[in-house]
Structures are given as C-alpha cells and as structure tokens.
C-alpha cells in the first residue's frame, strides 16, 4: 500500500515565515509552497524553493554527540552528553562564569527553556544573534513606541502610498516582502531606497538615495527637518499621541540641511522630495543597513521619529517594518533570550527577578547579564553553551571570537550540522532539524505559526535535550512543545490566549496593528527623542581609504551552514567577492574577476572583484563564506545602547595581488 | 476515444461548437442541494466520500482521502497537474479519481500528450464555480477532457444550481480488466437525493447560460490579445523585476525538463537575471503553455507571466488553430 501524507509547516530560513506543504510519498518528500498560508500565498524565494536539497544534506551529519578527548572526539550517548553539560554548568553556578547562546533558529519553546535554564542557574548571561541584527530595534522602538516589533502586518506594505526602505535589500533578502512593495507600486505607490549599493531593490526604486554607510541619522534628521519646516507633519496625531514634539522642534530647527546633506552624500533636492513623499501614508521598512552601526539605536530612533511626526503609526497601510533575518528572531526576543529582558520584555531588575523567581520557584538574579560581544570579551566567562549559532563566522571581528572560543575551559555546541564553531567544542550535540520537530515560530510581523514534524528521526530536539539537561540539574522542565507553550502563555503577557488562534493562521501578538489604541509606553504616548549624528567608529584614512560594508546575496543565508549545502544555491554563487565602483576599480587598475586582498586593521581576506554600481569610496563584501570570512575584517565597535557591533562600516584598503 | 479534433479557427464559435459536440456524448444531472454552503462543494462532498481522490484542495486536511469528509477550499494546493507528474516520478502510477479545475485539466492533457501521464488511469472531475476559479477572467478555454464536469450556474428563480455533465462512454464502461470502476463514481452523482437527470429541453435551456458565461470570458480574453495594446503589459519592465525565485519553473506543469535550463544557464548568480532568463522559458512553452496561472501565483515579483505568455501565444493559436490543452495532437506542423 502506498502511503501519501501531507504536512503543512514553515520554511526554516528567514523571518518572513513562509508556509510550505510537504508531501511524503513512501518516505520521500516533495516540498511545495503552501497556497493557503497568508504570508506567502503560494510563493517562495529561491532558498525555500530548494528546501528538498537541505533535507538531503541533513542525511550527512554526525550521528551522535561527541566529547573531546585530547585532539580527538569520541562518541557518547545523548544522555551522557546531557549529564556532562549539566555537570559543567553546575560547577560554574556559583560565580556565573558561563554564557548561554540561544538561537533565533530555534522554536519559541526551545528559546524559552534555554533562557529559563540559564536564569534558574542564577545568571542572566543569555543572548542570541538578535544582538547582531535587531538589538537596536528592541532598544529604540521599545523606548519610542513601547514594543520592539514590527507595528503592522507585512500586507500593510501593499496598501501604502510610499515605501521608504532604509538599509534593506528587500528584493534579495526578503522577496516575500518585496512582493508587497511591488503590489503597492502597481497601485502607483512610490518606492524610496536608501542604500550605498545599487542592487535589485534600488533598481525598482523611484528614488535611490546613495548615502555613505553609517550616515543614516544625518539623512533621517535632514528629512525630519524638511517635514517640520514645510509643515508636513501630522499635527493632530502629534498632539494626541506623541510627547516631546516641542523639544524635537527646537532640536531640528538648529540643524543645517546642507551640512547633513554633505555628511550623508545625498543631494538636498532628493531629501526634500523624500520629505514630501513620506508625509503621505508611508511604510518605513528597514533592516541591517540601519541597525548594524555603533549608532544603531540612534538610527532606528531617527526613523521612528520620522514615522511619528508624519503620523504613520497605529493605522492601516503604514507603520514601521523591521525585517527580521532569522525565522524566529522575533520569538527568541519575545521569549527573553536576552540578558537585559526576561520573557515578554520585562526588564531585568530586582522587582521582575522576584516575580519570575516566584513563577519558576528559584533564585533569579536581577542583575543584567552579558551580551554576546561582552561574553566574547569577558575574562570571567569560562564556559559557553551555544545552541544553533555559528559565532565563529557570524560575529564581528571573528578572529578575536575564535581566540576566545579556543581559550574556553568548556564549550558545548548544539546544532544540526558540525559548524565552524563546533570545531572549538568540547562537547558537540547534534539535534533534530526543523523538519524533525514540533513547535512554534514567530515571524517578522509577530505572527505565531506552527512547524510540524514530517521526518522521523532519533535525534532529540533542542527542547528535549535542554529538558534532559534540566533533569540532571534537578529542574525537571517539561519535554513537549505543547506543555512549554502553555507555560509561555501564562508567563509571557503578549502570548496570552494565542494558542487557540494559531491554527487559524492569525495569531498575531498585540493584534494585527500595534498602537491603534495608544502606545504601550507608561503614559500611553509615543516619544520623540533627539538623536545627533555620530560618525562611525572608523573613518577612511590614507592607509585604509575605503569604507567597507557587508551584507548578503539572494542565494545564501547567513553563514551558509544550511544554504551552501544546497547544490542549486551553491551553483549560483559559492565564493566571496568584493564589489567596487567603476571609478575606484579604474583607479586601482583592477578588473572584474581579478583576485584582490581586502585588508582592515583586524585582518585580511582574498576576494574576487565585481565591478558594480556601489557608491564611490565604498566596497562591499558578502559574509556567507567561512573560508574567506568577511567578519575577519569587520569592526567590533559597539553601539552603547544596544550593544550591536558595527558590522556595516569600517575602514579598509584593497591590495592588488601580484600573480604568483 | 474523443471526438475533439483540431479546431480550425478559435474564437467563440468554435468553442461553442466544441462544447456542443462534447455535450452530445454526455448526460446531465441538475443538482440543487442544500442552501448555505457552496453548492459544488456540498455536491462533491456527498458524491465522493469513500473514494481515493486526489484533490487540488487544501493539502493539509484532505488531499488524498479515503472515506473521510473532504474539505474543499479550491486553493489549488498542491498544484495538481505537477503533483500527478511528481507522483509518477515517485513510482505511483495507479488509477485515480482527480478533482481539478479546468486549468489543471488542460495541463494534465498536455502532460498526457507528452507521455508523462496516462489518461486512461485518471478519472477527471472538473469543477467550475466562482470559488474554484479565481482567475476565471484569464482562463482561456476551459472544457477539455473531463469525465465529469461540474458547472455552477445561475438558474432562473432557483438561484445557483450545479449542472453535472458526464461522459456517456465512461458510464457505460465497466470495471473489469483492472480498470478503475468509474461507473461507481459517476452513478453517485445520479443517485444523490437532490439530483435529477435532465430532459433534453431543459438541458438545452440551461446550456445557454453556460454559453453566455463563456462568451463573456472570451470577450475578456480578446482584450489580452497582442493586437490590443494593453498599457499594463510592458513586458521588459516586468521582466526586470524578476527576483529569480524559480517559482515559475518549478510550478509550471509544462516545464518538466530533467536538466532545468534556467537553473543551469542564464544569469547565474544575478538578481535580477537578464530578461533572456524569462524569454528563454517563454520560448520553451510558447506552444504548450496552457494558461493555468500557476506561474503567476508563484511569482515573487507579481509578474503576470501567463498573461504575457498568452499575448504571444494567442497569435500562434490564430495562425495554426492549435490550442494547447485542448487539442490532442502535439503542435501542428507549420505549413
Ligand atoms: S522568503 Fe524567507 S521564509 Fe520565505 S521562502 Fe524565502 S527564505 Fe523561506
Ligand atoms: S507558463 Fe504559466 S500559465 Fe503557462 S503552463 Fe506554465 S505555469 Fe501554466
Ligand atoms: S524553461 Fe524550458 S528547459 Fe527549462 S524547465 Fe521549462 S521547458 Fe524545461
Ligand atoms: S516566478 Fe517571477 S520572480 Fe520567480 S523566477 Fe519566475 S519570473 Fe522571476
């Protein structure tokens, strides 16, 4: 008898959270887009399209946990692995000399347990890669609006009259969002894109603002000034919903547009035109090109200011749209896998520590823990427990991170594949992939969706493994996603009552549109903050004359752990390149396809030259390729408010490699 | 087996003619059914319970069902023609009752002609209702090779009714020789409480409303013809939007090459790829695109691909009289 079974689940890559339909036919799998999932309605980007190749790649991974004995790894059982990990953590419980790295690739339930485990051990040293992407979103939007999240559902972008994209290559990285932009454009909406590069997104733009990396605040302030000067602001909205407008007025009136225009490299006329456009019904879309700076929080704040003064928050067809990279960044933040927040964005302080202590029946610390970069800088951290992340490639200045990883007394890495980070591990624990477990993910628009198991396996899920570890520590966490989710519903304010809505596909926390009835700040009003432009930590100079910025290509995902194992994606692009403007390439005397050396104060890599439409004086590297890691070059200067490293700008030089 | 042959001139007349010829070998059941729910759905639910059916409906609840209540939402999930093709490549080649829309059926016909599916092993039940065909306005010719066809129409004072057209020859076939007992499927439609086999006069009267509906669609289609300048179809600017998601290749039931050209060839590593990326595919399906719209649904760039292809293709139809998915021969030889 033939067996055919259908399972509806999600694409595991990005924050869009597209639905897929998996058909299992006699133990083989056919993956197609899910037409009834409202997020993608039958569409998938190229990464989702080749998910079957990822399934193939999953067959080729370590079959059991491994413990380091000298130079070699020996295989152990999962039970043994859990026992060893529990022992190492217990040993360091007294002085909290451990760090937990949770994962935006894992489910809500897994993140919840991960941070709970860390906190029940008396420490808040738990963080995850949101620190490298949307930490400024959390720090800026939660003080400006109340919650660090996308204000409206993705579909609202299609209803806007103007879409202002800052630092996002939406057409390559979030194609499912780009679909909405095109729907809006077909209706006559205007698209403005601020990006130093010319790429698939800027090609579709009506107005491309080719600014210098790291000057977003200057650009956004200049636009705000024009909005104010021309009286384009929404007076009624401001007086009812926003505080701090008086101060903001005097702040912008002191600004000089020509200075700002010179700083960011965008002409005054363009700035004026943008001001006119964004004062319509406008959607503000942004991504890493606004956050990954030492002024990341300021950048997001400046954008929020602009959205607020134009009255574009709290109603349909407009809003602020931080696009999430990982499929569950939103969820991992909601679950409190952050050193400064307990679940549900309860700030880490004595009062909340007491509350969670009562809930969890344990002694919980009220002291803020270490962020990811702080863990890698700290001498106190002796052991790390890393789940589903690859900091050896993804962190800024990754050579330094690698040094720290190799100097740790104990490193446990729990992942689906044996990653570059796992090379440093004392204990490696292979776990179930997204195809082999159940749980929920929260996509970029705060929509909580289920993933469903369709491949049978004997790998435990992250959740089962954490739960096993907890048993060795005497905590006895539940071991099914359903049990954990019902605990989440009790503990995380935003998730209350969402469980029953999930199957309808409309489980948005906070409702579809945030702030339609006031803001979630203490006084119910949004707040404008004055943010001055601050230059990036490194400026180009004689020795390092270029500004280096980093990013992604359409075909790969982050450190390539998953996407580079898919042949069809690897066939598109599979090695690093450096994009240089035409003028600069002529000046350097390098041609397309030649190999050059890119050097910064922290390291150097080789890359093939691509001549493109990038701004003069700026060069670009993708960060997917671990054999030539762009992050060996990037700067680890931090944003003081959010702790995000300045991945998007540093000074660099390009050296011609003499042919050997 | 079928009397449908090359249509010499397309356009509404030939379609009506084709339709009438097809109907001569048919009988018709009128179904009024319960009120409230979509009539087609309630009819199908009653008639098909207990059969192994491949539906083009919501994959999660009931795509292949044995004896369960069916859930029909007409979302086309999965893409049924492609799905049948894939099933075959998985070695599943047994007989099936297939519930599908006209566009799906046209694709199935083309796949049969290309020896990718075996028509004898399928009982095709066609559905045409406002819920099932969301892109009715672009759907070109929708009567192809159904064994049963459900046509939901507005009938005088009775509101909506469903006409069930069945092929007589199938009704008369028996279930021997290892063939599927299609009679069983078909008799279900006649035996339903609210169903009634129509007398010829009434049948013809109702037929008129079907033809009117067809004429309306045909008129709409003409506006996509290459001779009418449609400002909205600026082909190159559409092609430049392409994000290279590969949806159009993988969802297209007609694109079934082992070594997929677009993946191996044009614009490797580029987003957007050069326009040739799409033009190449357009040429490959120029004679065979059945205008099913699966590529439009899958396109991240919202390119109305099938409409653009149609524009090119309709000229070819007019010149050769060949309509893919309708005519049984492969493309005619050029004269
Ligand atoms: S847009 Fe994101 S979620 Fe959707 S298919 Fe692509 S990678 Fe997957
Ligand atoms: S090109 Fe589009 S409309 Fe034509 S057969 Fe393929 S999927 Fe259907
Ligand atoms: S475009 Fe051509 S070669 Fe490519 S899959 Fe379609 S028919 Fe085959
Ligand atoms: S479906 Fe659309 S975006 Fe995707 S490859 Fe085809 S034309 Fe390009």
Q: Ligand 2: which residue has its CA nearest to atom 4?
A: B289
Contact check, Cβ <8 Å, A43/B246: no
Ligand 3 centre to CA of A76 (Å) is 48
Q: Ligand 4: which residue has its CA nearest to atom 2?
A: B299
Q: Give the minimum alpha-carbon distance from A572 to chain B in angstroms, rounded to a whole number.
A: 4
Contact check, Cβ <8 Å, B297/A43: yes
The model's pLDDT over B197-237, given as tens digits with 9 standing for 90+, comes to: 776 666 666 666 666 666 665 665 555 544 444 544 577 78
* Domains parsed from chain A with CATH numbers: 4-60 (3.30.200.210), 66-130+328-496 (3.40.50.740), 135-323 (3.40.228.10), 546-656 (2.40.40.20)
Taking the Cβ of residue A45 and every Cβ of chain B, the question of whether any pair is shorter than 8 Å is answered with: yes
Question: Is 0.80 topped by the overall pTM?
Answer: yes
Cα A209–A47–A432 angle (5° rounding)? 130
Measured between beta carbons, the chain A residues lying within 8 angstroms of B75 are: 35-36, 42
Q: How many CB atoms lie within 10 A of CB B208?
A: 10
- Tell me if B248 CB under 6 Å of ligand 4: yes
Residue of B nearest to A23 (CA): B59
Q: Ligand 1: which residue has its CA nearest to atom 4?
A: A18
The model's pLDDT over B231-270, given as tens digits with 9 standing for 90+, comes to: 445 777 888 899 999 999 999 998 888 777 776 778 888 8
Ligand 2 centre to CA of A159 (Å) is 28
Q: Give the minimum alpha-carbon distance from B251 to chain A in angstroms, rounded to a whole number.
A: 8
ipTM for the whole predicted complex goes beyond 0.90: yes
Using a CB–CB cut-off of 8 Å, the residues of B that contact A are: 58-60, 63-64, 73, 75-79, 82-83, 86-87, 90-92, 94, 240-241, 243-247, 250-251, 263-264, 268-269, 271-272, 297-302
- Note whether A391 and A101 are within 8 A (CB): yes
How far apart are the C-alpha atoms of A157 and A167, rounded to whole Å?
17
The model's pLDDT over A430-461, given as tens digits with 9 standing for 90+, comes to: 999 999 999 999 999 999 999 999 999 999 99
- Tell me if B282 CB under 6 Å of ligand 4: no
Longest dimension (CA), chain A: 78
Residue recorded with tokens 């696009």: A323
Taking the Cβ of residue A4 and every Cβ of chain B, the question of whether any pair is shorter than 8 Å is answered with: yes
**Residue A46: which H helix or E strand, with range?**
helix A46-49
Q: Give the minimum alpha-carbon distance from B329 to chain A in angstroms, rounded to a whole number.
A: 31
The model's pLDDT over A70-109, given as tens digits with 9 standing for 90+, comes to: 889 999 999 999 999 999 999 999 999 999 999 999 999 9
Chain pair A-B, CB pairs under 8 angstroms: 123
Mean pLDDT of chain A: 94
Give which of A18, A32, A48 to mutate to test B binding, by max B Cβ within 10 Å.
Answer: A32
Task: Provide the 3-class DSSP secondary structure of residue B157.
Answer: helix
The model's pLDDT over A326-349, given as tens digits with 9 standing for 90+, comes to: 999 999 999 999 999 999 999 999
The pick from B107, B111, B263, B284 for probing ligand 3's pocket by mutation, whose C-beta has the most ligand atoms within 8 angstroms, reads B284
Position B58 scores a pLDDT of 35
Contact check, Cβ <8 Å, A36/B272: no
A178-184 CB contacts, 8 Å cutoff, 24+ apart = A178/A204, A178/B243, A178/B300, A178/B301, A179/A43, A179/B300, A179/B301, A179/B302, A180/A154, A180/A155, A181/A157, A181/A285, A182/B241, A182/B301, A182/B302, A183/A158, A183/B302, A184/A157, A184/A158, A184/A159, A184/A160, A184/A283
- Note whether A283 and A190 are within 8 A (CB): no
Contact check, Cβ <8 Å, B59/A186: no
Q: Ligand 3: which residue has its CA nearest to atom 6?
A: B255
Q: How confident is the model at residue B320 (pLDDT cuts 50, 70, 90)?
A: confident
- Name which of A34-43, A528-537, B60-69 the model is least confident about: B60-69
Position B73 scores a pLDDT of 45
Q: What is the DSSP annotation of B110-138?
A: HHHHTTSS-GGGEEEEEEESTTT-TTTTT
**Residue A319: which H helix or E strand, with range?**
strand A319-322
Strand partners, B155: B159
Give the ranges where A427-530 is alpha helix by DSSP (H). 462-472, 481-491
Q: Give the minimum alpha-carbon distance from B265 to chain A in angstroms, rounded to a whole number.
A: 10
Residue B319, pLDDT > 90, answer no
Fold of B4-223: 3.40.640
Work out which ligand 1 atom sits closest to the CA atom of A46: 6
Residue A147, pLDDT > 80, answer yes
Phi first, then psi: what are they for B224, rounded to 5°? -95, 0
Residue B161, pLDDT > 80, answer no
Give the residue among B103, B95, B106 at the shortest CA–CA distance from B184. Answer: B95
The number of CA neighbours under 13 Å toward the Cβ of A209 is 35
Which A positions 175-234 lie with beta carbon below 8 A of chain B? 175-176, 178-179, 182-183, 186, 199-200, 203-204
Measured between beta carbons, the chain A residues lying within 8 angstroms of B246 are: 46, 49-50
Measured between beta carbons, the chain B residues lying within 8 angstroms of A50 are: 246
Residue A470, pLDDT > 80, answer yes
Contact check, Cβ <8 Å, B263/A7: no
Percentage, residues of chain B above pLDDT 90: 5
Give the residue among A379, A427, A385 at the shortest CA–CA distance from A403. Answer: A379
Give which of A35, A169, A502 to mutate to test B binding, by max B Cβ within 10 Å.
Answer: A35
Cα A419–A423–A427 angle (5° rounding)? 95
Q: How is chain B split into domains, by residue range? A: 4-223, 230-320
Task: Provide the 3-class DSSP secondary structure of residue A450.
Answer: strand
How far apart are the C-alpha atoms of B289 and B278, rounded to whole Å?
14
């Amino acid at each position: 008898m033939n067996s055919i079974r259908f399972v509806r689940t999600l694409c595991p890559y990005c924050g869009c959270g597209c639905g897929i339909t998996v058909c299992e036919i006699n133990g083989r799998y056919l993956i197609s887009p899910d037409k009834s999932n409202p997020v993608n309605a039958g569409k998938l980007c190229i990464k989702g399209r080749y998910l079957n190749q990822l399934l193939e790649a999953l067959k080729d991974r370590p079959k059991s946990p491994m413990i380091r004995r000298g130079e070699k790894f020996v295989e152990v059982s999962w039970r043994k692995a859990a026992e060893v990990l529990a022992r190492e953590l217990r040993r360091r419980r007294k002085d909290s000399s451990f760090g937990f790295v949770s994962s935006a690739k894992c489910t809500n339930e897994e993140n919840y347990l991960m941070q709970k485990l860390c906190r029940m051990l008396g420490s808040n040293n738990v963080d995850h890669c949101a620190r490298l992407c949307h930490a400024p979103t959390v720090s800026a939007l939660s003080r400006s609006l109340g919650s660090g999240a996308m204000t409206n559902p993705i579909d609202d972008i299609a209803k806007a009259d103007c879409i202002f994209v800052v630092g996002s290559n939406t057409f390559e990285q979030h194609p499912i969002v780009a679909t909405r932009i095109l729907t809006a454009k077909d209706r006559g909406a205007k698209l403005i894109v601020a990006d130093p590069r010319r790429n698939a997104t800027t090609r579709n733009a009506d107005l491309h603002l080719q600014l210098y990396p790291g000057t977003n605040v200057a650009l956004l302030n200049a636009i705000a000034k024009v909005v104010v000067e021309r009286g384009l602001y929404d007076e009624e909205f401001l007086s009812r919903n926003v505080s701090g407008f008086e101060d903001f007025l005097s702040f912008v009136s002191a600004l000089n547009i020509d200075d700002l225009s010179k700083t960011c490299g965008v002409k005054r006329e363009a700035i004026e035109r943008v001001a006119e456009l964004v004062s319509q019904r406008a959607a503000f879309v942004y991504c890493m090109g606004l956050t990954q700076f030492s002024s990341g929080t300021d950048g997001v704040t400046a954008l929020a200011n602009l959205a607020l003064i134009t009255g574009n928050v709290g109603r349909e067809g407009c809003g602020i749209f931080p696009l999430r990279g990982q499929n569950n960044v939103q969820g991992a933040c909601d679950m409190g896998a952050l050193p400064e927040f307990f679940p549900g964005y309860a700030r880490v302080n004595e009062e909340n520590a007491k509350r969670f202590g009562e809930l969890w029946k344990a002694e919980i610390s009220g002291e803020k823990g270490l962020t990811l970069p702080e863990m890698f800088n700290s001498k106190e951290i002796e052991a790390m427990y890393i789940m589903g992340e690859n900091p050896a490639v993804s962190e800024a200045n990754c050579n330094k991170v690698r040094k720290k990883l190799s100097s740790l007394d104990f490193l446990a890495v729990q992942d689906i594949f044996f990653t570059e980070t796992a090379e440093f591990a004392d204990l490696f624990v292979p776990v179930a992939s997204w195809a082999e477990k159940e749980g929920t993910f929260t996509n970029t628009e705060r929509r909580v969706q289920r993933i469903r198991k369709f491949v049978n396996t004997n790998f435990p899920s992250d959740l089962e493994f954490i739960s096993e570890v907890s048993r060795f520590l005497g905590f006895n966490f539940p071991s099914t996603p359903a049990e954990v989710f019902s605990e989440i519903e009790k503990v995380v304010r935003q998730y209350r009552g969402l469980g029953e809505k999930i199957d309808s596909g409309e489980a948005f926390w906070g409702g579809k549109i945030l702030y339609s009835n006031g803001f979630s700040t203490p006084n119910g009003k949004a707040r404008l903050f004055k943010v001055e432009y601050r230059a990036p930590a490194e400026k180009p100079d004689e020795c390092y004359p270029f500004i280096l910025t980093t990013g992604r290509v359409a075909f790969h995902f982050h450190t390539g752990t998953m996407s580079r194992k898919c042949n069809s994606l690897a066939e598109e692009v599979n090695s690093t390149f450096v994009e240089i403007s035409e003028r600069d390439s002529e000046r350097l005397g390098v041609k397309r396809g030649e190999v050059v050396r890119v050097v910064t104060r922290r390291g150097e890599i080789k890359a093939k030259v691509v001549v493109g439409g990038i701004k003069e004086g700026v060069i670009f590297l993708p960060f997917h390729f671990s054999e030539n890691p762009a992050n060996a070059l990037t700067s680890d200067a931090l944003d003081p408010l959010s702790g995000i490293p300045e991945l998007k700008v540093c000074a660099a030089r390009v050296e011609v490699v003499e042919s050997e | 087996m079928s009397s449908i042959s090359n249509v010499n001139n397309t356009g509404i007349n030939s379609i009506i003619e084709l339709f009438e010829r097809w109907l001569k070998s048919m009988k018709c059941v009128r179904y009024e059914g319960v009120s409230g729910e979509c009539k087609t759905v309630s009819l199908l639910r009653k008639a098909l319970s207990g059969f192994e059916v491949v539906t083009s409906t919501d994959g999660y609840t009931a795509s292949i069902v044995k004896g369960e209540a069916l859930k029909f939402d007409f979302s086309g999930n999965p893409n049924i023609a492609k799905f049948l093709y894939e099933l075959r490549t998985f070695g599943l080649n047994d007989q099936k009752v297939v519930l599908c829309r006209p566009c799906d059926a046209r694709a199935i016909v083309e796949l049969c002609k290309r020896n990718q599916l075996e028509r004898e092993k399928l009982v095709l039940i066609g559905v045409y209702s406002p819920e099932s065909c969301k892109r009715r306005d672009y759907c070109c010719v929708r009567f192809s090779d159904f064994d049963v066809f459900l046509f939901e129409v507005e009938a005088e004072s009775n509101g909506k009714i469903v006409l069930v057209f069945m092929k007589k020859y199938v009704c008369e076939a028996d279930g021997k020789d290892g063939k599927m007992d299609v009679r069983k499927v078909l008799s279900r439609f006649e035996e339903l409480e609210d169903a009634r086999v129509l007398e010829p006069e009434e049948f013809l009267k109702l037929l008129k409303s079907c033809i009117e509906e067809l004429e309306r669609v045909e008129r709409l289609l003409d506006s996509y013809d290459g001779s009418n300048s449609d400002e909205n179809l600026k082909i190159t600017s559409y092609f430049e939007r392409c994000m290279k998601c590969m949806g159009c290749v993988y969802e297209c039931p007609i694109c079934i090459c082992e070594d997929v050209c677009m993946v191996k060839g044009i614009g490797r590593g580029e987003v957007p790829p050069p326009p040739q990326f799409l033009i190449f595919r357009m040429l490959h399906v120029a004679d065979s695109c059945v205008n099913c719209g699966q590529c439009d649904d899958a396109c991240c760039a919202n390119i109305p691909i099938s409409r653009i292809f149609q524009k090119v293709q309709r000229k070819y139809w007019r010149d050769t009289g060949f309509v893919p998915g309708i005519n049984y021969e492969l493309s005619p030889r050029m004269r």
